[in-house]
């Protein structure tokens, strides 16, 4: 393969695995072109990777209102036409979509242009765009153990969620030194994600004094535009001062997770993949308004594999503090969870995707070459 199109914009959960795959492809001498949306989340993240090739595409999510439908179809047609022209310009060998509205136009354009189409679904509940595109795709990548009705098992591969090359677990002591957090602190990290952070932020603030009295320090990632950053110091046990921190965003999530004793998080596929990679015990609080309730499916799977616990969003005030308290002071349980998380780590998924795509294209070219030779001999 020489040129691969990656349609992956719209949300961080779509864009970051696209960047991870692009890194693996570029390492192999294959040029990757990332189709992203015109949203701020895409422009902010893409600016951190100047060596990669990003192309802003038109498009809008499907909203079932008259104006929403007009915007969606207008965006779809525009992205279809722009993608079709771009494929010819770069002589694209393959296109892979990571779901969402940014995948639709480019995927349909690829089919029209006879460019092989690969589709990736990160969540354990398949999204509408992926369900629509999977029927006519050459390969469909799904999470562990999943199948998709109406799609042949022969084109399905179970590879998981690709993480960017720089996302690595680091030693706890080094992570805490970078964050200026004492090694002796019992550190709870709370992650709300790009959506649904408000209820977790509210829970932290409501329970900050009680957490401090238990000797638990908190680092809360509040989310962009959700709350201001700051530091709070409260009395802890035995006249100890407990420090809790609030920050809106971090580019060093691997450092934050590596430093944590326990994390409370939403249950997006990306967040779970990062938790697994850093092997940090977690209590997952699925965002109740996620499309197709995919966060609940993601969280339940991790719980079934012995990698964490699940607390429903409507039980935050009733259950979460007690679960945090129990897990934070149960060293044996957290050690078991870390071992289970280690066994769940799928390794370099970006590399696996790149290798599988390359092998598929190579096989396709071999079949095409053989067919042409047979025609020449027959002639």
Enter the DSSP assignment of 291: G
Residue 186: what are its φ and ψ, rounded to 5°? Answer: -90, 110
pLDDT digits (tens, 9 = 90+) for 123-141: 999 988 899 999 899 999 9
Q: What is the arrangement of strands in the sheet containing 241-247, beginning at the earlier edge strand?
A: 230-235, 241-247, 216-221, 186-191, 262-265, 282-284, 308-310
Phi-psi region of 147 (alpha: psi -120 to 50; beta: other; left: phi over 0): beta
pLDDT band at 227 (very low <50, low <70, confident <90, very high): low
Whether residue 51 is predicted with pLDDT greater than 90 in this model: the reply is yes
Mean pLDDT across 344-367:
93
In CATH terms, 172-344 corresponds, of 3.40.50.300, 3.40.640.10, 2.30.22.10, 3.40.50.2000, to 3.40.50.2000
Give the pairing type, strands 216-221 and 3-7.
unpaired
The per-residue pLDDT for 41 is 84
CA distance 272 to 302: 8
Mean pLDDT, range 282-297, rounded to an integer? 93
User: What is the structure's pLDDT at 33?
Assistant: 97
Helices vs strands, H then E, count in the chain: 13, 14
Looking at the chain, the whole-number percentage of residues with pLDDT higher than 70 is 95
Same fold, 3-162+348-378 and 172-344: yes
Given this model, what pLDDT does residue 62 score? 86
pTM for this model (two decimals): 0.93
> Domain extents for the chain?
3-162+348-378, 172-344
pLDDT value, residue 378: 45
Gap between the Cα atoms of 220 and 230, Å rounded: 10
pLDDT reading at 375 higher than 90: no
pLDDT in tens, 99-122: 888 999 999 999 999 999 999 999
Lowest-pLDDT range, 33-42, 82-91, 166-175, 195-204?
A: 195-204
> Does residue 372 have a pLDDT over 80?
no
The average pLDDT across 217-232 equals: 83
Q: Average per-residue pLDDT in the chain?
A: 92
Say which CATH class 3-162+348-378 falls into: alpha beta
Tell me the DSSP string of 19-44.
HHHHHHHHHTT-EEEEEE-SSHHHHH
């Amino acid at each position: 393969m020489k040129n691969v199109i990656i349609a992956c914009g719209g949300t961080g959960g779509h864009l970051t695995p696209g960047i991870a795959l692009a890194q693996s492809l570029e390492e192999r001498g294959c040029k990757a072109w990332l189709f992203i949306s015109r949203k701020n989340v895409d422009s902010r993240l893409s600016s951190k990777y100047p060596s990669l090739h990003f192309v802003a595409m038109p498009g809008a999510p499907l909203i079932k209102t008259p104006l929403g439908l007009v915007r969606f179809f207008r965006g779809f047609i525009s992205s279809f036409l722009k993608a079709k022209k771009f494929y010819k310009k770069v002589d694209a060998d393959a296109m892979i979509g990571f779901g969402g509205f940014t995948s639709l136009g480019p995927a349909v354009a690829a089919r029209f242009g006879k460019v092989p189409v690969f589709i990736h679904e990160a969540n354990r509940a398949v999204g509408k765009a992926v369900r629509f595109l999977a029927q006519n795709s050459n390969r469909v990548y799904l999470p562990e153990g999943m199948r998709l009705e109406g799609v042949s098992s022969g084109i399905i591969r179970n590879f998981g969620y690709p993480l960017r090359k720089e996302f690595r677990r680091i030693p706890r002591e080094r992570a805490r030194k970078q964050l200026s957090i004492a090694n002796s602190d019992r550190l709870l990290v709370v992650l709300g994600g790009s959506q649904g952070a408000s209820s977790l932020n509210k829970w932290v603030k409501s329970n900050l004094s009680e957490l401090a009295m238990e000797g638990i320090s908190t680092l809360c990632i509040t989310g962009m535009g959700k709350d201001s950053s700051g530091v709070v110091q409260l009395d802890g046990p035995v006249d100890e001062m407990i420090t809790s921190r609030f920050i809106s965003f971090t580019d060093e999530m691997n450092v934050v997770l590596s430093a944590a004793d326990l994390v409370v998080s939403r249950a997006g596929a990306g967040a779970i993949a990062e938790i697994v990679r850093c092997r940090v015990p977690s209590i997952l609080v699925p965002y109740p308004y996620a499309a197709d309730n995919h966060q609940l499916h993601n969280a339940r799977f991790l719980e079934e594999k012995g990698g964490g616990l699940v607390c429903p969003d409507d039980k935050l005030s009733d259950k979460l503090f007690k679960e945090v308290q129990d897990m934070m002071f149960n060293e044996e349980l957290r050690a078991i969870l870390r071992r289970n998380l280690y066994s769940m780590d799928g390794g370099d998924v970006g590399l696996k995707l790149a290798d599988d795509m390359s092998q598929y294209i190579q096989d396709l070219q071999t079949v095409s070459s053989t067919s042409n030779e047979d025609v020449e001999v027959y002639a």
